């Protein structure tokens, strides 16, 4: 496929950039129209690449783009999953270029979605185009691109259930994850689940003058901080009763296998510019993100946050809290456990409200499958090294649902790298990964 | 003066509103031009009221409005202090009307600055006008209106030192405080000092994907919360070493006198809609705000605070922290103590930065002075009840400086009420307090 890429590169950039320019931010209601535009553009790209059929299919939220090419009922069917929605670009002031005006420099594509997941799903469309145009396609291929992954795919499971028949396939192929490093290709064989909540601590019914009331009335920011401070114990464990009840403890053998993945603590700390790491006692960094659950405060706000010194004892304080879950923790159960616990620790001088947001279960993928083997062979050929099986710390909530509803395993051929800083300012995607990904996907079809 | 008010009421509103419409927010650099406009308008109002001379005098920050009327060197001289800057209006969505388009309804003036301090300083201009126009003025009067009170008056002390001679006076008259209640007039005989700092906790050098790093890298929001949670001990005391070293403990007799002020805990809790109060063990609510120091978090922010569920392990978290101080705590010393302590409790996996902001010392005013007695008599006549001496929890940082540099005591004749919610949305000023204030001030001149 190398030659085909060389000949069509400029067109690939133009096509991908037409997707990246659309601010399809699912977290913000004001982008509804952008979601539709992005979905329509994707359907056009699928048709141009050689699909028999592609449509923008309504769901109870943002539309799903569905496309297919049917070759022969005797052949295997590959269902490609991806998402066209992106994370909000904030904080905007930290971007070196416009997040929605992609550019190429330093060997990478820069912009929101360059990697996650527009850049990665685009590789699938182009590998497919290559196979169609060169007459090499020996599979039936189906595409399902959703617009709500970044908000936890609240409506895709229902859409999948409603479209179960036409989604029938042998494997669900996904590129929405990272490799361990540029030099070490890896295939994710597990992802963490997610529980996400928003909490609100309400003190007095209005913002107060901190001189007139300070010292006499509970400050909701202070109370929220005190509550958050109790959410981890001294060993770095999440201090919510029942949180670990269903956590699967890995065997020594399994932990040994994971420990084979290369990891350099010094480089890790340098990359992040931190003096020390922090996490659950008794586990390595890769274990802490791969096989252990955790709790993070993703956002906090309250009181006066503008320029200068406003003296106020505010009425409210807020935080967004996410928990990454491992098998067999159930997102729904953990969300309920947290909500109950957080309300129970509220002191009497404040009111606490808890809003349940997105969630999804984690999952594991067997590395003994034909699909895994084909992917390993394909990537081994492109990279010159056998890929390592790894456990991803992130979540693609809906893939556990795909597993349950369609009865097929996902296969995670991700080509992102940590340096791509997805979800952060200056998201990028290395061109060499972009092209190696296309080649690996084309070879996957060859060996599967 | 009642009749004069009745005859000129509409003009008074128009003049005051011309000040209130100018968003003179000292905390925000973008309002520099509004500060100048507001100062110029004030100088015009002083001249129209009968001053011999009024000017907009430059300082190293926002200009000071200075005006005077000289009657006779044998007479006493009153220096009126006020401030024309206002607090930021945020949160804007909680205002029922435009903060900078004042309106009158329900017997009050509504808008930012209606009370603090444009409404209150305006009473002095009108009481002065009345005395001039009716030929009753028997004092020399000087006006000093600054534009940086809400940011801690960083430049006024230097301006006062530079203008020390022309500011010579017998008393510094100020209306920038509240009365205990509508029914109980009171005169503040002490204010708390202030230390204000902004803190920043930095973890990784960029925002991270909370799935890829969550559980393995310290989250700066969590760390900031944990640090803030240690700032009070179990008895509600501020947990900063040395914080209480210089706090003056009041005698039993003094505490008894303060306890004479009316206070209804049930009403207090209902007014704020809180189930319980919180404060330093061993002190009453009035003591906690009047004679005890405290620490509040005035603002906190970090990570993703927009709509929806963004999963991020942020790079930074921030908070604004204010401490209200009592005699003999020195603002400069306490600010240093806090900064040192906060840095010392930073765990090794984050960097902590502390920025010192505004500050000022608290002060006490003798109730045995002639000026106090004249004010008490004036207010007693207007309200029909002898005013109670009280201790204000707020801070007017610069008045301690006035005391030190000019060697004169401030006299705090404040006519605000808690219901005015200064510093908060829907600031207001009751018309009956507005007019009772003018009358009281005019009578003060009579009896002083």
Quote the pLDDT of residue A388: 86
> B203, A297: Cβ pair inside 8 Å?
no
Asked whether the predicted pLDDT for residue A214 surpasses 80, the reply is yes
CA distance A177 to chain B (A): 10
CA distance B291 to chain A (A): 10
User: A336 lies in a domain?
Assistant: yes
Name the residue among B426, B357, B439, B433 with its Cα closest to residue B177: B433
Q: A273 to chain B: which residues are within 8 Å by CB? A: 204-205
Q: What is the mean pLDDT of residues A383-397?
A: 84
Residue with the larger pLDDT of the pair B258 and A186: A186
Same domain, B92 and B179: yes
Quote the pLDDT of residue B380: 95
Model confidence band, residue A398 (pLDDT cutoffs 50, 70, 90): confident
Nearest-by-Cβ selection for B348 from A206, A276, A308? A276
Looking at B309, B342, B360, which one is the last position of a domain? B360
* Residue B205 in contact with partner chain A when CB distance is under 8 A: yes
Cα–Cα dist A167/A406, whole Å:
8
Element (H, E) at A413: none
Cα–Cα dist A219/B374, whole Å:
39
Same domain, A388 and A337: no
In a mutagenesis test of the B interface, which of A89, A210, A321 is the best target, namely the one with the most B β-carbons within 10 Å? Answer: A210
Q: Give the pLDDT confidence of A137-163 residue by residue, as tens digits.
A: 999 999 999 999 998 888 999 999 999
Q: Give the pLDDT confidence of B162-191 residue by residue, as tens digits.
A: 999 999 999 999 999 999 888 889 998 888
**Count of structural domains within chain B:** 2
Quote the pLDDT of residue B310: 82
> B309, A293: Cβ pair inside 8 Å?
no
> B178, A212: Cβ pair inside 8 Å?
yes
> Chains A, B: CB contacts under 8 A, how many?
374
Same domain, B103 and B113: yes
User: How do A316-325 and B77-83 pair as beta strands?
Assistant: unpaired
Quote the pLDDT of residue B189: 86
Same domain, A171 and A237: no
Asked whether the predicted pLDDT for residue B198 surpasses 90, the reply is yes
> A224, B221: Cβ pair inside 8 Å?
no
> B274, A204: Cβ pair inside 8 Å?
yes
* Residue B364 in contact with partner chain A when CB distance is under 8 A: no
User: B201 lies in a domain?
Assistant: yes
Cα–Cα dist B273/A350, whole Å:
10
Looking at B327, B360, B393, which one is the last position of a domain? B360
> A275, B349: Cβ pair inside 8 Å?
yes
> A298, B288: Cβ pair inside 8 Å?
no
* Residue A23 in contact with partner chain B when CB distance is under 8 A: no
Nearest-by-Cβ selection for A151 from B205, B309, B319? B309
Instruction: Output DSSP code: residue A244.
Output: T
Quote the pLDDT of residue B433: 97
User: A253 lies in a domain?
Assistant: no
Model confidence band, residue A406 (pLDDT cutoffs 50, 70, 90): very high
Nearest-by-Cβ selection for A276 from B324, B349, B358? B349
* Residue B151 in contact with partner chain A when CB distance is under 8 A: yes
* Residue B385 in contact with partner chain A when CB distance is under 8 A: no
CA distance A102 to chain B (A): 20
Model confidence band, residue B218 (pLDDT cutoffs 50, 70, 90): very high
CA distance A40 to chain B (A): 24
Quote the pLDDT of residue A394: 79
Quote the pLDDT of residue B302: 97
> B394, A209: Cβ pair inside 8 Å?
yes
Quote the pLDDT of residue B306: 87
CA distance A313 to chain B (A): 6
> B206, A421: Cβ pair inside 8 Å?
yes
Q: Residue B261 in contact with residue B289, Cβ under 8 Å?
A: no
* Residue A424 in contact with partner chain B when CB distance is under 8 A: yes
**The CA-based dihedral angle spanning residues A123, A128, A130, A134, taken in that order and rounded to the nearest 10 degrees:** 170
Same domain, A218 and A318: yes
Q: A314 to chain B: which residues are within 8 Å by CB? A: 298-299
Nearest-by-Cβ selection for A216 from B87, B213, B277? B277
Cα Dmax for chain B = 79
User: A375 lies in a domain?
Assistant: yes
Model confidence band, residue B341 (pLDDT cutoffs 50, 70, 90): very high
3-state SS of chain B? Answer: CHHHHHHHHHHHHHHHHHHHCCCCECCCHHHHHHHHHHHHHHHHHHHHHCCCEEEEECCCCCCEEEEEECCCCCCCEEEEEEECCECCCCCHHHCCCCCCCCEEECCEEECCCCCCCHHHHHHHHHHHHHHHHCCCCCCEEEEEEECCHHHCCCCHHHHHHHCCCCCCCCEEEECCCECCCCCCCEEECEECEEEEEEEEEECCCCCEEHHHHCCCCCCHHHHHHHHHHCCECCCCCECCCCCCCCCCCCCHHHHHHHCCCCCCHHHHHHHHCCCCCCCCCCCCHHHHHHCCCEEEEEEEEEECCCCCCCCEECCEEEEEEEEEECCCCCHHHHHHHHHHHHHHCCCCCCEEEEEEEEEECCEECCCCCHHHHHHHHHHHHHHCCCCEEECCCCCCHHHHHHHHHHCCCEEECCCECHHHCCCCCCCEEEHHHHHHHHHHHHHHHHHC
Q: What is the mean pLDDT of residues B109-130?
A: 98
Same domain, A329 and A401: no
Quote the pLDDT of residue A259: 82
Same domain, A158 and A98: yes
Asked whether the predicted pLDDT for residue A258 surpasses 80, the reply is no
- ipTM of the complex as predicted: 0.82
Q: What percent of chain A has pLDDT over 90?
A: 82
Looking at B320, B338, B360, which one is the last position of a domain? B360
Q: Residue B379 in contact with residue B413, Cβ under 8 Å?
A: yes
Same domain, B236 and B150: no
Q: Can the peptide bond before residue A117 be classed as cis, meaning omega within 30 degrees of 0?
A: yes
CA distance B168 to chain A (A): 30
Same domain, B180 and B310: no
Q: Can the peptide bond before residue B314 be classed as cis, meaning omega within 30 degrees of 0?
A: no
Cβ neighbors of B360 (< 8 A, separation 6 or more) are B152, B153, B193, B194, B331, B395, B396, B397, B398, B400, B401
> A217, B274: Cβ pair inside 8 Å?
yes
* Residue A266 in contact with partner chain B when CB distance is under 8 A: no
Quote the pLDDT of residue B256: 83
**The CA-based dihedral angle spanning residues A260, A264, A265, A266, taken in that order and rounded to the nearest 10 degrees:** 170
Q: What average pLDDT is seen over chain A?
A: 94
Same domain, B184 and B143: yes
CA B273 vs CA A77, A344, A346: distances in Å: 62, 20, 16
Same domain, B313 and B411: no
Nearest-by-Cβ selection for B277 from A194, A217, A303? A217
**Range of lowest pLDDT (A162-176, A197-211, B239-253, B354-368):** B354-368
> B273, A207: Cβ pair inside 8 Å?
no
Q: Give the pLDDT confidence of A259-313 residue by residue, as tens digits.
A: 877 889 999 999 999 999 999 999 999 999 988 999 999 999 999 998 888 889 9
Identify the closest residue of chain A to B282 by CA–CA distance. Answer: A216
User: B103 lies in a domain?
Assistant: yes
CA distance A421 to chain B (A): 7
Quote the pLDDT of residue B114: 98
Q: B275 to chain A: which residues are within 8 Å by CB? A: 348-349
Model confidence band, residue A400 (pLDDT cutoffs 50, 70, 90): confident
Quote the pLDDT of residue B152: 83
User: B267 lies in a domain?
Assistant: no
Nearest-by-Cβ selection for B273 from A205, A358, A418? A205
* Residue B289 in contact with partner chain A when CB distance is under 8 A: yes
C-alpha neighbours within 13 Å on the C-beta side of residue B340: 10
Name the residue among B35, B290, B321, B335 with its Cα closest to residue B177: B290
> A425, B206: Cβ pair inside 8 Å?
yes
Asked whether the predicted pLDDT for residue A113 surpasses 90, the reply is yes
Cα–Cα dist B204/A246, whole Å:
31
User: A203 lies in a domain?
Assistant: yes
CATH number at residue A110: 3.40.630.10
* Residue A306 in contact with partner chain B when CB distance is under 8 A: yes
Q: A363 to chain B: which residues are within 8 Å by CB? A: none
User: B271 lies in a domain?
Assistant: no
Q: Residue A82 in contact with residue A172, Cβ under 8 Å?
A: no
* Residue B282 in contact with partner chain A when CB distance is under 8 A: no
> B207, A318: Cβ pair inside 8 Å?
no
Please provide residue A296's backbone torsions phi and psi, each rounded to the nearest 5 degrees: -130, 150
Quote the pLDDT of residue B307: 82
Provide the domain limits for residue B27: 2-191+363-447
Q: Residue A314 in contact with residue A207, Cβ under 8 Å?
A: yes
Burial (CB < 10 A; 0-12, 13-18, 19+), residue A389, is middle
Q: What is the mean pLDDT of residues A10-22?
A: 98
User: How do A171-174 and A77-83 pair as beta strands?
Assistant: parallel
Quote the pLDDT of residue B363: 85
Same domain, B85 and B47: yes
Q: Which two tokens stand for residue B330?
A: 């020195």
Q: Residue A22 in contact with residue A112, Cβ under 8 Å?
A: no
Nearest-by-Cβ selection for A210 from B221, B288, B322? B322
In a mutagenesis test of the A interface, which of B89, B199, B211, B277 is the best target, namely the one with the most A β-carbons within 10 Å? Answer: B211
pTM over 0.80: yes
CATH number at residue B320: 3.30.70.360
């Amino acid at each position: 496929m190398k030659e085909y890429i060389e000949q069509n590169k400029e067109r690939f950039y133009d096509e991908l950039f037409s997707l990246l320019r659309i601010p399809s931010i699912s977290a913000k209601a004001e982008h509804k129209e952008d979601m539709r535009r992005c979905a329509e553009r994707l359907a056009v790209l699928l048709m141009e690449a050689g699909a028999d059929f592609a449509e923008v299919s309504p769901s109870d939220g943002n539309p799903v783009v569905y496309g297919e090419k049917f070759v022969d009922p005797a052949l295997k069917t590959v269902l490609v999953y991806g998402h066209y929605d992106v994370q909000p670009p904030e904080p905007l002031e930290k971007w070196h270029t416009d997040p929605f005006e992609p550019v190429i420099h330093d060997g990478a594509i820069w912009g929101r979605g360059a990697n996650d997941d527009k850049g990665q799903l685009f590789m699938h469309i182009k590998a497919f185009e290559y196979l169609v145009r060169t007459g090499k396609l020996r599979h039936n291929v189906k595409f399902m691109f959703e617009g709500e992954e970044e908000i936890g795919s609240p409506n895709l499971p229902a859409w999948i259930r409603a479209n179960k028949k036409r989604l029938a396939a042998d494997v669900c192929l996904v590129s929405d994850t990272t490799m361990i490093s540029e030099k070490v290709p890896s295939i994710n064989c597990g992802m963490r689940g997610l529980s996400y909540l928003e909490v609100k601590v309400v003190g007095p019914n209005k913002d107060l003058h901190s001189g007139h009331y300070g010292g006499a009335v509970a400050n909701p920011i202070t109370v929220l901080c005190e509550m958050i401070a109790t959410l981890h114990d001294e060993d770095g464990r999440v201090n919510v009763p029942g949180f670990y009840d269903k956590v699967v403890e890995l065997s020594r053998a399994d932990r040994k296998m994971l420990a084979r993945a290369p990891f350099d603590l010094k480089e890790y700390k340098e990359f992040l510019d931190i003096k020390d790491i922090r996490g659950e006692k008794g586990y390595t960094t890769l274990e802490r993100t791969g096989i252990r659950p955790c709790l993070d405060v993703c956002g906090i706000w309250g009181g006066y946050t503008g320029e200068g010194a406003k003296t106020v004892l505010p009425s409210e304080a807020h935080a967004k809290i996410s928990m990454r879950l491992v098998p067999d923790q159930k997102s729904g159960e953990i969300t309920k456990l947290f909500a109950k616990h957080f309300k129970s620790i509220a002191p009497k001088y404040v009111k606490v409200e808890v809003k349940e947001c997105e969630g999804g279960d984690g999952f594991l993928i067997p590395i003994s499958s034909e699909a895994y083997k084909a992917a390993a062979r394909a990537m081994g050929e492109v990279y010159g090294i056998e890929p390592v099986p790894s456990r991803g710390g992130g979540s693609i909530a809906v893939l556990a649902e795909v597993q349950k509803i369609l009865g097929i395993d996902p296969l995670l051929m991700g080509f992102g790298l940590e340096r791509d800083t997805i979800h952060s300012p200056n998201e990028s995607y290395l061109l060499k990964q972009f092209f190696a990904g296309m080649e690996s996907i084309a070879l996957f079809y060859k060996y599967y």
